[in-house]
Every structure is written in C-alpha cells, then in structure tokens.
Structure 1
Amino acid sequence: MSSHLEHIDTTKNIDTIKNLDEVSESALIQLVYVSSITMTTRLNTSIFDDIEAQARRFNQYNNITGILCYGNGHFLQCIEGEKAQVLALQQRIFSDKRHKNTKTLLLQAVEQRNFSDWRMRLLFLERWLWSPATKQQATKLTPFLPFAPHGWNPKRTEQFVALIKTFETPPHIRAAGITYNALGNMFRHIAAPHQAFLIVQGVLIVLIITALILLYV
C-alpha cells in the first residue's frame, strides 16, 4: 500500500493518512478534500454536467458514493468506498487540471457510509443558486457560509458532512439554457427579475450616445 502513498503530497493531507497502512484494502474509507476552481474551468458552461456524468459512470462501477459541493469558487467532495478504490480515485482527482489548491480535510476508515447514492449528488452553496423549495433547509448551512473550507479542521468538516447528509433535496436550481457555471448563473440571477428595467436602460443609453454624436458632429 505504501506505493499508493508515495505519489501523494502529504503536505496537503492530514496526519490520518499515515494510519491507513494498518487498514485492510477492503475497508470502508471516507475522503473529504477541498480545492479551488480554475479560471478556465469557471468559463466552461458545462463543467458541472461533465463532472456529474463522469462521476456517475465511474462511481457505479467502483461502488463509490458521496457528494460534491461547490460555492465561492471552491469544491468540497466527500468520497466513500473501499480503501484501494478511494486512494486510486484520490490520485486521479488531485491530478485533474480543472481545479487547484487541493487539500485533504478527512481521510479515515468508517463503519458505514454517510451517502448511499453512487450518482454523486451536487450541492451548491451559494444563496442565489437556491430555489424557493430548498431555501428553508439550506438555511441550516448558514454557519458554514460564506463557503471557505480550506481553513476547516477535521471536527468542522465532520459537522458539515453530518449536516448535508440529512438534506432531502440538494439546494440548487436547474435553469433551462443556463448551466451551473458561476458567471452564467450570476448574470441570470441579476438579469431575470429586472429584464424590463435593463431593456429600458439599454434604450436610454443608445439614445444618449446618439444625441452626443449628433451634438458634436
């Protein structure tokens, strides 16, 4: 098993990684890591759909369960499965160029899974992405917002995982024609309720520019 650990930058991981040598390959392991989304990834309008599709295929085949959270430019993912599969997936995830600043918050043997759905649910931790139907349960996340998981200790991480596993419906909205891309959703959030206002302002700006051109020509 030491060969798996040699390729992992232990400066980015918690001390519990040292204890996994004594855990059997078939033991149930829980990994929670955080990372930051890159600017290129931010501009990819299909990023979350791509991640969800890839995770669905891989997790079903490897009996991996968990949840992927996104907010404030950060990813937090909880992955559960057999030791060999989880550590192999960790290597794959940490080498993915779609995110950076990867850091392991939890890596430990557990008796049972917190999440039973191998489809890897997506949880968005930005209030403007929450639908009215999910805002009530999403308010429970207030102590963890604004979302800045890189500074969390193991205890706070466990509290967060314990909370989100109780959610019946992931707090997010799915908008036709607009993906979960942060920039796209921010524009939709601002523009959608004020379309008439924006149209009027646009017309006024055009008229002002036209008047200035006529005045100085």
Structure 2
Amino acid sequence: MPVGDIDIERRLQQVPDTALIQLVYVSNATLKTRLNSAISTNIEKQAKSYNKQHGITGVLCYGNGQFLQCIEGSKLEIVALVQKIFADKRHNDFRIPLVQRIDKRMFSDWRMRLLFLERWLWSLATKEQATSLSSYLPFTPHNWSAERTRKFLQSIRVFATQPYANTASVSYSAFGNMCRHIIRQHQAFLLTQSILMLLTISACIFFWL
C-alpha cells in the first residue's frame, strides 16, 4: 500500500478490523483511460454491487485526468478493496492523503456517488450550486494536503444535485477528448507558434510586394 502524507501502515495497525474508517486515495488515469469518455460511469457500475455487498459507501471524483475516491466502511473491507483498486491498470501513481477512524459516515448513501469535475460538462443547475468548488478547479487532488482534502469532502457532501457528466447527452469522440487534453497542456506553446507563423507569412508577403 503506497504511503501518502501520513504513515498509513502505523495508523491502520492501531485500528480494530471491525472499526469504521474513511480512506481517500488519489491517482492518475492512464492515457487509454482518458480516451474513454464513459470511464467514470463504467467504474461506478462495477463498484455498485461490490460496495453494497461489503458495506462500503463513498464518492468517486474524476476530472483533469485525475481520480479522487473517498471510501468508508470497516477497516477489513476497506483494506481489501484498496488492494483491489491499486491492482486496476486503468490508473496509476497512487497516493493516500487521508485515512482516519470515524464514528459516522460522511457519505451514507449505499450508491457510490460519482462527481465528474469538468466545468465545461456541467448543467446550469450544477454551476449555480457548485460555486464552492471554484477554488478546487482545475481538479488537481494529487497536489492537495490532507487538510485541503478534508475541506473538499465537506464541500461536496452538501450538493443537492451531483456535478457529474451525463455522457449520453454529451457527444465527443476519443480523438476530440485527446486533443482537448493536448491543447490544454500546450496551449501557450501553440499560441506562440501560431503568432510566429503569422508574422513570418506577413513578412514574406511584404517582401515580395
């Protein structure tokens, strides 16, 4: 199990197997995963049956190519699930910023809630209620401290409607999704090159006139 900002092994050893705990992990989606527009929905469907059978609740967040998942349940069940999650080849670079014993669940719904944190796919209703998320976007949970992670969880637990993307109503191809990530990461470089190209063309035209 990877070590994050806290000594995970030491903390878990002090907790009884049947105790209720909350664990948060973050990870990066692989390139293949990022090209799959329905990845979060697929993961949610696969987790639904397993989590209900094992008494696990929580929330799965995805955005900017990164996952953040908060899972709650008995220590024994959570540790078993985490080992299963970390063996999933759809994501990598795992880190656990937060794990703690709790008296009460923060996410009590038996469904694993899904939050798609890409503002461009949100409905107007979601945008209106999600102003508290502005400071967490773009979504980069890999860089967050344990305290920032706690504050984020407090922010999302109160949503009346979940800020997720309904991929059935949003049409974009895998190629388009890939281009969106490339352009966002290199937009400054592309803009500079475009300007230089225009200047070069203008200079050539002026020289031949």
With the length of structure 2 as denominator, give the TM-score of the two structures: 0.78
Match of 1:159 in 2: 151
Match of 1:204 in 2: none
- After TM superposition, give the deviation of residue 43 of structure 1 in Å: 1.9
Q: Secondary structure at the match of 1:170?
A: coil
Asked if residue 71 in structure 1 is aligned to residue 63 in structure 2, the reply is: yes
Change (3 A) 1:182 1:172: farther
- After TM superposition, give the deviation of residue 100 of structure 1 in Å: 1.0
- After TM superposition, give the deviation of residue 115 of structure 1 in Å: 0.3
Stretches of structure 2 lacking an aligned partner (at least 5 in a row): 180-209
- Work out the CA distance in 2 between the residues paired with 1:106 and 1:32: 5
Match of 1:203 in 2: none
- After TM superposition, give the deviation of residue 182 of structure 1 in Å: 7.8
Instruction: Deviation per CA, 1:156-214: give whole Å up to 9, x if none.
Output: 11111111111111113424364798866799xxxxxxxxxxxxxxxxxxxxxxxxxxx
- The residue identity in structure 2 corresponding to 1:168 is A
> Root-mean-square deviation (CA), in Å?
2.4
Does the 8 A contact of 1:45 with 1:184 survive in 2? no
- The residue identity in structure 1 corresponding to 2:39 is I
- Work out the CA distance in 1 between the residues paired with 2:171 and 2:28: 19
- Work out the CA distance in 2 between the residues paired with 1:137 and 1:181: 29
Instruction: Deviation per CA, 1:96-120: give whole Å up to 9, x if none.
Output: 1000111001111111100011211
- After TM superposition, give the deviation of residue 131 of structure 1 in Å: 0.3
The match for 2:115 among 123, 130, 133 is 123
Aligned residues: 180
- The residue identity in structure 1 corresponding to 2:14 is E
- The residue identity in structure 1 corresponding to 2:26 is V
- Work out the CA distance in 2 between the residues paired with 1:182 and 1:114: 35
- Work out the CA distance in 2 between the residues paired with 1:46 and 1:146: 20
Asked if residue 171 in structure 1 is aligned to residue 190 in structure 2, the reply is: no
Change (3 A) 1:186 1:9: closer
Does the 8 A contact of 2:23 with 2:100 survive in 1? yes
Asked if residue 112 in structure 1 is aligned to residue 104 in structure 2, the reply is: yes
Match of 1:9 in 2: 2
With the length of structure 1 as denominator, give the TM-score of the two structures: 0.76
- Work out the CA distance in 1 between the residues paired with 2:173 and 2:79: 29
Instruction: Deviation per CA, 1:51-85: give whole Å up to 9, x if none.
Output: 01111011110010000001111000000000000
Ranges of 4+ aligned residues in structure 1 off by more than 6 Å: 179-183
- Work out the CA distance in 1 between the residues paired with 2:103 and 2:21: 9
Does the 8 A contact of 1:17 with 1:107 survive in 2? no
Does the 8 A contact of 1:42 with 1:183 survive in 2? no
Stretches of structure 1 lacking an aligned partner (at least 5 in a row): 1-7, 188-217
- The residue identity in structure 2 corresponding to 1:121 is R
Match of 2:142 in 1: 150
- Work out the CA distance in 2 between the residues paired with 1:28 and 1:174: 32
- The residue identity in structure 2 corresponding to 1:65 is T
The match for 1:133 among 103, 119, 125 is 125
